[in-house]
A and B are shown apart, each in its own frame.
Chain A
């Protein structure tokens, strides 16, 4: 099956700093990538949808200036958490889709802001 890779898998940063998370589709071109946030013992909450070469579409309640998404190529999307605070600590998951309905998920990134 298609492989989606996220990096890093785990990151700890100081409050006030920014963190970039990468999501790559390794063996297919992803026209659309999704970013999710998962709180402990809860479901995945869609944060935003990004299409290659255009601005991301954010879900209601998600601050676009805080969670910057760039989808510069068909194999790479990045999520930058700017001026991170402890409440941003969470598990972030990306998924990628290529023209078909099914999406493939990355392994997730555990962000801890101290």
Chain B
């Protein structure tokens, strides 16, 4: 079945620790990949996106993600997290095979301890 999987449901880190959140998808064909963040009480905001080209994409707030086509993965990374990064992170996929709709992973709750 087509799906978007986020393996880490809840991550707790201390400030300055490095972060990597996993995202795998199973949609075929050409895909567009996104990471969204939802801060407590706020709406979804786009962190970064991959459409084509350089598989290493840089987003806002020091986040980056790497698209590895052979692994169907799009993991999110940040070298040094801050307390303000505490939020829910969602990976999303959009492809022609899905009628260009967005499908989301189950989300990862990140808690950064000061």
Contacts and interface: CB of A to CB of B under 8 A. Distances in A.
Grouping DSSP codes into helix (H, G, I), strand (E, B) and loop, the B interface class, with mixed when no group exceeds half, is strand
Interface string A61-88: 0000000000000000000000000000
Interface residues of B, number: 22
B100 A32 contact: yes
Interface string A24-56: 000000001010100001111110010000000
Interface in A95-114: 95, 97, 101-108
A46 B43 contact: no
B42 A102 contact: no
Given A49-B99, A102-B49, A43 B42 contact: no
Contact of B43 (A41, A43, A101, A106): A106
Given A44-B90, A93-B44, A107-B43, A101 B103 contact: no
A95 to B, nearest CB: 7
